[in-house]
Structure 1
Amino acid sequence: MRGNIKAGSFEISEPHVLKHRVRLSLFAWGLVVLAILVAAAPFIASDANTSTSAAPSDSDSSTPISEETRPGTSPGNSSPTPASVTPTELASSPTVASGNVAPLFLSDTEPVAAQGIGSHSTSATIDKVPYPHSVAQFQSRCSESGEPKQWEYSIGANYQSFSAWIGLDDNNRAADLSVTFEIYADGKPVYEKRVTAGAAIQAHIDVLNVRRLKLVSSFSISTNCNSFDEAVWGNAKFS
């Protein structure tokens, strides 16, 4: 049964009140939905950006990387191009020996004990062949003929081998001169060779675990003794 509602001096019918309440309810629900959408908007935008960045583009899926743009490669070759090394760089790079010790020229060090004069660092020539990293033991006068020249080096068991080109310097004046070269490892004789004027002879010995190496040269008695007779250990080095 429908009736009228009096409010002060006004009369409001029940259908009119019902419509008004429905409108208010719809408006309230609209506000709630709008608030929810406003609150969820940042999350929706973030999901959309993530999906866009994750999706591969046509260029990514179909176009390979150009070989010209790959660092360290050359056209037509997918493997890295090795860096160029000049001969000068190769020559200046030391080779590592046993125990991570680089080779050592005898001319770059000093003996810990020496008997007899000579040059610990010189450039010598044997049979017209130059040996820029050499040591030379001298015969200074006739009274020294036959007396050995002995130089001893401390190498601390750091190397595997010792090598040198032995011979008489081209400046020697005595044609009949000969020299006996000897090598001692920790006091034990390991090499001996008698040489005369002419081409150099290569001496090579094992010095693994050797701590002291002694080089000895003994000049023969010459009929023309002078201070220029030299026994040369050409390009002598430890490696």
Structure 2
Amino acid sequence: MVQRLEMYALPDFPMVEPGDDLVAQIAQSVAGAGLSLRDSDIIVVAQKIVSKAENRYAYLKQVTVSAEAKVLAESAAKDPRLVQVILDESVEVIKHRPGAIIVEHRLGYVHANAGIDQSNISSDSQNPRVLLLPRDPDASAARLRAGLHRETGAEVAFIINDSAGRAWRNGTLGFAIGTAGFEPVADLIGQKDLFGRTLEATTVAVADELAAGASFLMGQAAEAAPVVLIRGAGLPVAEAGSRSLLRSREQDLFRS
């Protein structure tokens, strides 16, 4: 059992632009903090910098708005062009109200506005742009992990995190949308509790717990700390992505 966990928000991380080498930027930021990567460290990066490096921008002036988007935009009190981009990134609209459209993203996540963001990105008022999620966050996480191994020799785990609200509680929370190098869900079914009772349904979203802790350090406004180093989790190495974190529709009581 982990008795001690250390988290470091890497300081002075540069503003990321399309095409930037995130591996080099992370390695330089680790060194700048007076640290060096070790085997079993975990690097958590904000989705936003991955999307920026991958040039996942959509320009609203270039969007062709459908009739469906116009109707939904009126109900949700949103720019029809933004709504069209949300629809393009989604497979289903689940719920909506003024200010929010809850969708199932094409990658399987259920959250507001398909994860499309307008905060902390520069934009031209004549042709505003929004930032989409990475095209394949697990693949992005795997590439960054491999790159850091080549750069530093360390066998690290990797998490790309985002933030979302929850159906049953107020406030946003960090969660993992991409992972590499460890099992994101720990299955405790069959183990014994303190009193010898066999656990029958307990699984732990390890990746989300770590993503949430890192998100607390990153902040949600002007903190400019999009990379966190976690040390001490002691996770065994595994070649797994984040798909096991997604609950199937058949088991989702909020959509049944």
Instruction: Give the TM-score normalised by structure 2.
Output: 0.22
Instruction: Give the TM-score normalised by structure 1.
Output: 0.24
Q: Which has the higher contact order (CA 8 A, sep 6+)?
A: 2
Higher fraction of strand: 1
